[in-house]
Amino acid sequence: MVNITTPLRIGYVLFPAFTALDVFGPLNVLNLISITHNMTLSLVSTDLKPVSVDRSIVDGIPGGMLASSASPNFTQFVLPTHTFDTAPDFDVIIVPGGAGSRNINGTKPHVDWLRQRMDDPELDYMMAVCTGTSLLARTGKIAGRNATTNKAAFNWVKTVEHAEDVNWIAKARWVVDGNLWTSSGVSAGTDMTLGWIEKLYGRNESERVRNLMEWNALNQTDDPFAEYYGLV
């Protein structure tokens, strides 16, 4: 039976060169759960221009750290639904990571918007996948809180502004600190989202979605990559 109560309002932040699975893994979970639970989804960016996936392509011009790769124009684009100025109120905001998160100047509008939204009393959850946690750290709003991030980029994330004030957890698939949910790299975002669905709607629902996805889920402490990258 479809839930027809007030919808859960979800906002997903986009920037050029976000990592595909950081967005589409959690969205696969949300697409399936939204069939039986009332939700809305907004894709939010600086403007309504197409946003490049895994490559920094702005106005048709490749840039960023991947511009010199063998295939700089091998990319996809996603269309935002809202700008930062037109975005509605949200119950949940999700921030992906990716090479574009290292563009400090390019993501400054995203950080400024997140800083403002984190003070919204209607916001129930702030979530970040992979190096998306670096944007949250830069807001200064997660000082003193537990968080994790991509283990390959762990040491870089710890260098961004205000990161020294965050309690970084090296060995964790994802970390929950109150309404702040942060995950390790890329595929970990899907595990985190399934864990979040379990919190909201119960284990039966999260398992139903996981089985529909044929996803071999890992738990919060399953993190071989911390050791692989010499963090523990």
At 65 the pLDDT is 62
Looking at domain 8-39+84-228, its CATH architecture is 3-Layer(aba) Sandwich (3.40)
Predicted confidence (pLDDT) per residue in 85-107, tens digit: 999 999 999 999 999 999 999 99
pLDDT of 4 higher than 70: no
pLDDT > 60? residue 61? yes
% of residues, the chain, pLDDT over 90? 88
Q: What is the average pLDDT across 142-151?
A: 98
- The pLDDT, as a whole number, for residue 3 is 53
Q: What is the mean pLDDT of the chain?
A: 95
Say what the pLDDT of residue 1 is: 42
Task: Kindly state the helix (H) or strand (E) to which residue 8 belongs, with its residue range.
Answer: strand 8-13
225 backbone dihedrals φ, ψ, rounded to 5°? -75, -25
pTM for this predicted structure: 0.95
From residue 34, alpha-carbon distances to 1, 40, 63, 128 in Å are 12, 8, 36, 20
Provide the 3-class DSSP secondary structure of residue 181: strand
